[in-house]
Structure 1
Amino acid sequence: MTKETSNYDYIVVGAGSAGAIVATRLTEDPSTRVLLIEAGPEDSSYWSKVPIGFAKILIDDRYMWNYETQPEPELKGRSFPLPHGKVVGGSSAVNGLVFTRGLPYDYDSWVKMGAKGWGADDTLPYFRKLESWAGGSDAFHGGDGPTGVENARWQTPLADAFIAAAMNTGLPRNDDFNGAKRDGVGYAPLDTRRGRRSSTSEAYIKPNRNRTNLHIITEALVTRILLEGRRAVGVAYERGNQEHEARANAEVILSAGALHTPHLLQISGIGPGALLQANGVPVIRDLKGVGENLMDHVQTGRTYITNSPHTFNRAVGNPVSQLKAGINYYMGPRNGALTNGPSSVIAYLRSSDGLEEADVLMHFLPFLPDDTGWGLNKQSGFRIAMFKSRPESRGFVRLSSPDPKAAPSIVFNHLSTQSDVDTLLYGMRFAKQMSETAPLSQHVIKELDPGQQGESEEGLLSFIRGNANTSFHYAGTARMGDDDLAVLDPSLRVRGIDRLRVIDASAMPTITSGNINPAVLMIGEKGADLIRST
């Protein structure tokens, strides 16, 4: 066993969306020494900078964790992969870029569950702090924060047709989904600055990398939290073929994400006592909520062949179009396909008139994948995808072995409530209506999926159960609250363990109504302030 030659004030585990923010904010004080440990490599891939490069990154094991679920009971017993970022910047360096904060309702519901200080009015200043909105500073947006945010730059006649069709069904136009209103349809806000991905690696780490009080170790797997009684004093980690220990004089902060953070807690003896004992892990603190409350947005959708050339299939599907797209990106106005993630347009809608807030988020994805699921089909196509904004289904992350390198058992229990099923059925029916509404209908040649299977309610539900998949929005497995399943207090401290906090998506009491990365960034910003003030 080799040990670090010097101690640190803080150790942050995970250099992803939240951890990168925590480490850089804490080291704004030059007297504060921080060790930031990341299991993956540096963010050196070309494809992590170009927005469309997400498709290349997701299949690259160098930069991705590739866990898999256990068979999902309500998805016809299917297991599916769970790719997520293993790189400096974490999932902010590899995700689909859509920058939706969610609804004020989401954060106010956190307060009702015991997360005092996390309501919509409490969190707005942190969203403004982290953001550099292309439209400039106002009551809802920041204008000079580290993270660039702008509406999709690739605005095409096909995307315009989708927007117009949605408006013809009664949805209002919305050009600012993080402003005063959320309902409606419009171009998606993206986590980009002038068409370039604005990950926490680019926005937080890169400008501050030379701070002498910020020590970053990559390709290092944290294997357990070092505890003296019920007090966190450091971490053990492996790098190369060596084992190391690092000590923290102030606190250990877990920012490893909603799948890894609960697993690391459990491996270290913090979690459901019976589960730990069954796996040969001595119980330090029996906290039955660790690893429970796992949430995700399960998504489904309809797929079409189109007569439009304004899809990824045509824009970057052959050498000539790739050359044109490259010229646009590197020498032109940078408003082409390379500036986009998978979604170019989104829509918030309500499955019932009596709902207080929108409960369906719909995405327009202008591409048709090939049979592998990752490449581009030779035909031009698009997909209308959707998920329920606030699903009721809950799953778990549970250690399967005392070996920290053994993957945990993960089950989401997607579509285990009737409400979740009914909302997706509504979304699929609405998507069908959209495809048959002008002017989008003029661009549809054929519906591929679900096709004839979706003509009956029974067939449509069977299609959903057989094809629905993750949105990669893992959250909630060490949640804040005041009940017996709460793992954290509102200051993000682990209950019953001194000097240990969780600052990542695990802390969410409920999932936010949209792509969750903006909320994780906010948790990082607010979490850093909580450390400095408590």
Structure 2
Amino acid sequence: MRDASIAKNVHYDYVIVGAGSSGCALAERLSRDGTVRVALLEAGKSDKSFLIGMPSGVRLLYEGAGFNWKFQTTPQLELGSRQIYIPRGKVIGGSSSINSMIAIKGAHVDFEDWAKAASSIWGAENMFRVLRDIENASGLPTKHRGDRGLEGPIRLSRRLIGHELSEAYITSCEQAGLARNCDGFNGKSQLGAGFFDVNIADGQRHGASMFLREAAHRQNLVVVPNQIVRRIYLEQGTARGVVVQQGSDETLLRADNEVILCAGAIGSPQLLMLSGIGPSQHLYDTGVKVVVDAPEVGQNLRDHLDCSMRWSTKGVDTFTKYFRPYEGLVHSALSGARYLATGTGNAATQGIEAGAFWTDGQSGNAEFQSHLVLALKWPPHGKHPRNGFALRVCQLKPKSVGEIRLASSDPRDAPLIDPGFLTDPRDIDALADGVAFSTEIIQNGEMQRYLDQALDHEATSSNKRIVHNWIRKTAETVYHPVGTCRMGDDTNSVVDSSLRVRGVENLRVADAAIMPTIPRGNTNLICMAIGVIAAEIILSR
């Protein structure tokens, strides 16, 4: 594998657009065949950054522009017309290089739904085979490894700190009737409370770029960062390459076999539409020549909306000190120095180690997820507690659906992202139920002895209207956009079960955009599995 710049008149067998979670996995697997030439293009930078490798660097990566697209939604009418921030990785490794490193495989029932929508290839048996193949769970407690994978590129660990608040939260969940889940939520059932599996090992983030390390010795894989793809190059309905921007010039990079889009649920539909593949009237209105009228491109956008409840604490030290003015710089410097010297300490963690999954009482599946954040990064205006925490709660199967649209025909312009949050009224009722149950857990169990005061009084109200208003004022995304190039066996789907774009030859999409439904939980590992399965499909043909 080698980093390179684009040279004119160079042909590759496969050109992959987007070096994120799916793209890195796909490139590594395709390049195992030494007879094929693979080019992996990324709009962002190299991931060779201290901040990316250090788990606590997520605090700066979340807001910084260096490795982040920093998207904003269109004004969300049901959220007080607020624009919601959507961080997305603009770097080798994609969002796996800037996320919170929580490793969730998903629920069996979700993949069975995918099998019904498309093919058994996407069913639970095959998905969990691949997810086991890409993980290295040797860092987990021996008694909890079970049949977990031990040789994959993504190393996992658990309970890095064992913070007393994390232990107290799990105990409080048990007191509220949830079972303790000792499998990192990646065993037979997601339900219960426990410590998350995280893709952190030896103090280092293990994101999708670990796949590229596996391919480091291969000369048939070229990775090209800082490369903006303007459009797919089409000849008579067949993808023959991509057109990339080089300064003021455009260069054609040819693909003799296939072009595969791995630019994510936002980038992949944008690039299809810029290439003339999408809803014909919208393309016409935006000034893009229509090649294939594909009405569902950019549709079916789903995401996890999240509510964050905050409490100040007493008798316990949290990571809040790292966010306090002036003092935080001192603590961060000391923590960073220890990390540089030993690779250990608070900088070797991301501050989220415990959470829970629970049902709504109407099904046996997880319908809510919580993340316990061991810090108060954004206390309410005018309040500066010495210590505190936040509990983030999201609804896992929202009914609301949104869309991606072009803002213009210029690929440098961010697309219009409208998740349609809470447009289905059932979602706000469900979120309010999740908030109420979470408040009960915090205020009536083991956590109670650490509480100083609730900082979001509206969230703890017994008046549902007040809770609804608080949700509309404060809710944000958990950054799991999916579904905008929906996979299915019906002719209206954007891609078929082999991920081929309908109406175009030699073109596939292989990333979160193809998900027919949103999974229960964090999406990162699942995106990696999509890349692996895409490679298996391509090489089998």
- TM interval, shorter chain, is over 0.9
1:369 paired with 2:373, answer no
Q: Is the CA contact 1:398–1:410 (under 8 Å) kept in the aligned structure 2?
A: yes
Cα distance change of structure 1 residues 371 and 426 upon mapping to structure 2, 3 Å threshold: closer
Aligned pairs (5 A) from 1:280-319:
280-314=287-321, 318=328
Q: Is the CA contact 1:310–1:366 (under 8 Å) kept in the aligned structure 2?
A: no
Partner of 2:350: 341
TM-score, length of structure 1 as denominator length: 0.94
Deviation at 1:403, TM superposition (A): 1.7
Which of the residues 177, 193, 210 maps onto 1:170?
A: 177
Partner of 1:383: 390
Deviation at 1:314, TM superposition (A): 3.8
Q: Is the CA contact 1:454–1:463 (under 8 Å) kept in the aligned structure 2?
A: no
Question: What is the distance in 1 between the residues matched to 2:384 and 2:47?
Answer: 29
Which of the residues 88, 105, 110 maps onto 2:114?
A: 110
Partner of 1:94: 98
> After superposition, what is the alpha-carbon deviation per residue over 1:316-366, rounded to whole angstroms, capped at 9, x for unaligned?
8646644664466455683x43232242211011121x3130100111111
Which of the residues 48, 51, 65 maps onto 2:52?
A: 48
1:5 paired with 2:9, answer yes
Deviation at 1:182, TM superposition (A): 1.1
Cα distance change of structure 1 residues 94 and 106 upon mapping to structure 2, 3 Å threshold: same
- Residue identity matched to 2:358: L
Deviation at 1:439, TM superposition (A): 1.6
- Residue identity matched to 2:206: S
Cα distance change of structure 1 residues 194 and 372 upon mapping to structure 2, 3 Å threshold: farther
Deviation at 1:185, TM superposition (A): 0.4
> After superposition, what is the alpha-carbon deviation per residue over 1:263-285, rounded to whole angstroms, capped at 9, x for unaligned?
10001011111111111211111
Aligned pairs (5 A) from 1:13-412:
13-133=17-137, 134-135=139-140, 140-176=147-183, 177-201=185-209, 203-314=210-321, 318=328, 321-322=331-332, 325-326=335-336, 329-330=339-340, 334=344, 336-352=345-361, 354-370=362-378, 379-412=386-419
Aligned pairs (5 A) from 1:382-531:
382-451=389-458, 454-531=461-538
Partner of 2:3: none
Q: Matched residue of 2:264: which SS?
A: coil
Q: Is the CA contact 1:370–1:377 (under 8 Å) kept in the aligned structure 2?
A: no
RMSD (CA atoms): 2.1
Question: What is the distance in 2 between the residues matched to 1:159 and 1:149?
Answer: 19
Q: Matched residue of 1:253: which SS?
A: strand
Moved more, 204-213 or 31-40: 204-213
Q: Matched residue of 1:344: which SS?
A: strand
Question: What is the distance in 2 between the residues matched to 1:429 and 1:349?
Answer: 13
Question: What is the distance in 2 between the residues matched to 1:141 and 1:452?
Answer: 39
- Residue identity matched to 1:343: I
Question: What is the distance in 1 between the residues matched to 2:514 and 2:315?
Answer: 43
Number of residue pairs aligned between Structure 1 and Structure 2: 528
- Residue identity matched to 2:434: G
Deviation at 1:25, TM superposition (A): 1.3
Deviation at 1:195, TM superposition (A): 2.9
- Tell me, which stretches of 5 or more residues in structure 2 are unaligned? 1-5
Question: What is the distance in 2 between the residues matched to 1:286 and 1:442?
Answer: 60
Q: Matched residue of 2:433: which SS?
A: helix
> After superposition, what is the alpha-carbon deviation per residue over 1:364-407, rounded to whole angstroms, capped at 9, x for unaligned?
1111014699xx96621101111111111110001122222222
Deviation at 1:113, TM superposition (A): 1.8
Moved more, 128-137 or 358-367: 128-137
Cα distance change of structure 1 residues 80 and 320 upon mapping to structure 2, 3 Å threshold: closer
Deviation at 1:140, TM superposition (A): 4.5
Q: Matched residue of 2:113: which SS?
A: helix
- Tell me, which stretches of 5 or more residues in structure 1 are unaligned? none
Moved more, 466-475 or 376-385: 376-385
- Residue identity matched to 1:10: Y
Q: Is the CA contact 1:106–1:510 (under 8 Å) kept in the aligned structure 2?
A: yes
Question: What is the distance in 1 between the residues matched to 2:283 and 2:323?
Answer: 50
Q: Matched residue of 2:86: which SS?
A: strand
TM-score, length of structure 2 as denominator length: 0.93
